[in-house]
Structure 1
């Protein structure tokens, strides 16, 4: 099993980050995410928590040996479930791969919460594990490739989302007419 973890703060309020979260894709830094489909969305009438389930379609350059050994293609799909809690200003996102899940799984968790100075804390973890006990060598190679690819995509996601936030909030503020407040 491989573990991945990263934490940092975005220079934007929690509300701005969560609005930006829905505009993260498409972006040029994360060109591997080609589709985002909302499968379900609901609001709990008592708590106000917004639950959203999405399927992300990705296109990866998969090594030939993986395609030959396990089948499949460069197309991959990920199920994502998010909970946005406006009362506590926390957002949690859980995702898991749907493609090739009989061979390996990647469970990702993300937490956004307010941080000091009007910033937003971001914490991301992932557990990547193969399910092929009998093919240990192939399983280790697959797990290593998935871990490297996940970390590369996580770094691209950070850069891409920072650009999205800048475009939504900083560029919008610069373009607003004098005396008119930027979007909140």
Structure 2
């Protein structure tokens, strides 16, 4: 198992995994699914080394992205002191291997190297199973609220209840 930055060559697989994740969300949690992501948006993340992949036996098993600030979602808590995890998508061939725990452990090391104080992530909608999954991976559940201003954010943030999670480093 290796974790590395995604490459531009990975973009078709990234979109395939996003599509499969969205289909899974529709089946399991129909109230809140990811929108179609823009290819330029994803390519920018790749070029800025903010898109990651976990590879097992030469196959991408999981992907995620990071940001270093997230003021619109984290509002008053944003102090440029966190790494924010976004859009974790697991290849269905590798479901059940607890990649969230692996990503949390990776993010702790990554965040410390980047001199950050927190690892943070969010999800939309009250999905108790997912909340517990993130808590079991070491994230503290900070609560849920609607964003003050979701303009310019992806569609799934519009008028959604946002759940906040954090690991203090």
**TM-score scaled by length of structure 1:** 0.31
Greater relative contact order, per chain length (Cα 8 Å cut-off, separation 6+): 1
Compare CA radii of gyration and give the structure with the larger one: 1
**TM-score scaled by length of structure 2:** 0.32
Higher percent of residues as helix = 2
Higher percent of residues as strand = 1
